[in-house]
Amino acid sequence: MERYRIITIIVTCFWLPIGIAQSVMDTSTVSTGEAYRFKLDYNIPESPAFSILEANPTTIMRASTPQEIITHLASDFLSGNRVSPGLALDFNPYFVFGGRLQNITEYRNSGWKRFLANMQISVATINAEEFPDDLLFSGGLRATLFDSKDILFDKKLGRDIDMALIPDPTDDPGPLQNNDQGIIQSNTKLSEAYTKAKTRYRETAGGSIAIGYAIAGRAKNISFKTDSIVTYRHQAWVSGQYDMGKSGLSINAMVLYRYEQIQNRDNSGLISGISLRRYGKKLILSAEIYHDSLKDAIEFGGYAEAYLLPNITVFASLKKETNDITGKEEILLKPGIKWNFSESQ
């Protein structure tokens, strides 16, 4: 078992330097280095696959529209808690598997296309103390049903981008212009457009609703033979979010139904609660409280998320939880990292 734990740590350690190296490379030019600050990636929803494995730092999940391809890393390097290092990858299946969108107008007018474009598939794996000889894995699906702050509805951002993309008058194409291959260039005007959009986003009041489903399984004795793989948990949830605007405060509420089979015992129940978040420019603070009917306990915790490096979000939560095995109440520290994988080009 220890061998697999070490492999997971190596994998985790392998991803992290690449992410940091990418960030350092990005900061080598001023215009590119500045770009990360303008991204709207500070409201990334939690990974559905990590949620079912209880590897997310918070229990109450956000309902905002997902962004790009995100890699989540969980670790217990500091805390020695129950959840061991793990990795989750979230992506949009529609575009990854060849889906097309005619234009932004179609996205705004077609609820079906918007549903597909905002769908999020998530896969994850971790080691856990609950099943010390097994490898846990999970898959999840999340869909945003409604988001009044969807960035693609921001017409001002669209116009600003259009203006930023108009070629400079000094760069008129010559009569025998031949640059069919194309080149990727930095454009500071695009970054400025996102600076303004981020301010508008933070200061606008609005809400969103999302639904999700996830399934977790375990490979007994780390064997992937058919008879060694069992599913042990299912969950489905609905979450809502309301951002209050200029105050930077946001309220989230979630109701989650969970069914699990652990140590030949069937168990099912609801996890429901609320959280309050305060969005700063580079720091998000939040507190949550929820009732877990499976454990018949009221749990609570605090959470901080900071943007210290380009493309990388560092977070940690401190929460009171009831241990599944011992039944005792514990204070858990869950640190982790989210890396914006899509910037690796």
Partner 1 sequence: MPKSNYCLIDPNGGAIKVQITANNGIRTGSIFILWEIQQGKWVKKEKFQAITGDDGLDEFILLEKPQDIENDSLAWSINACSLVPSVQRGEFTIVILQDTLNRWKKLSSRIVPSCSHGKQLTFGNHVIFKHLINDSLTTSALWKDIE
Question: Which residues contact partner 1 by CB under 8 A?
Answer: 31-32, 34-36, 38-41, 66-69, 91-92, 94-96, 100-105, 107-108, 117, 151-152, 155, 157-158, 161-167, 171-188, 190-191, 193-194, 342-343, 345
Give the nearer residue to partner 1 in terms of CB position, either 264 or 345: 345
Instruction: Output 183-191 pairs: Cβ under 8 A, ≥24 positions apart.
Output: 184/345, 186/29, 186/31, 186/32, 186/35, 187/31, 188/31, 188/34, 189/160, 189/163, 189/164, 190/35, 190/161, 190/164, 190/165, 191/31, 191/34, 191/35, 191/37, 191/38
To partner 1, the closest distance from the beta carbon of 17 in angstroms equals 21
To partner 1, the closest distance from the beta carbon of 166 in angstroms equals 4
Give the nearer residue to partner 1 in terms of CB position, either 34 or 324: 34
SS3 state of residue 201? helix
Closest CA to 199 of 115, 97, 279, 284: 279
Closest CA to 81 of 325, 337, 345: 325
To partner 1, the closest distance from the beta carbon of 157 in angstroms equals 8
To partner 1, the closest distance from the beta carbon of 193 in angstroms equals 8
What gap in Å lies between CA 225 and CA 213, rounded to an integer? 25
To partner 1, the closest distance from the beta carbon of 182 in angstroms equals 3
To partner 1, the closest distance from the beta carbon of 216 in angstroms equals 25
Give the nearer residue to partner 1 in terms of CB position, either 191 or 286: 191
Give the nearer residue to partner 1 in terms of CB position, either 151 or 337: 151
Give the nearer residue to partner 1 in terms of CB position, either 96 or 331: 96
Give the nearer residue to partner 1 in terms of CB position, either 168 or 296: 168
In our burial notation (b when 16+ CB lie closer than 10 A, e otherwise), range 258-282 reads bebeeeeeeeebebbbebebebeee
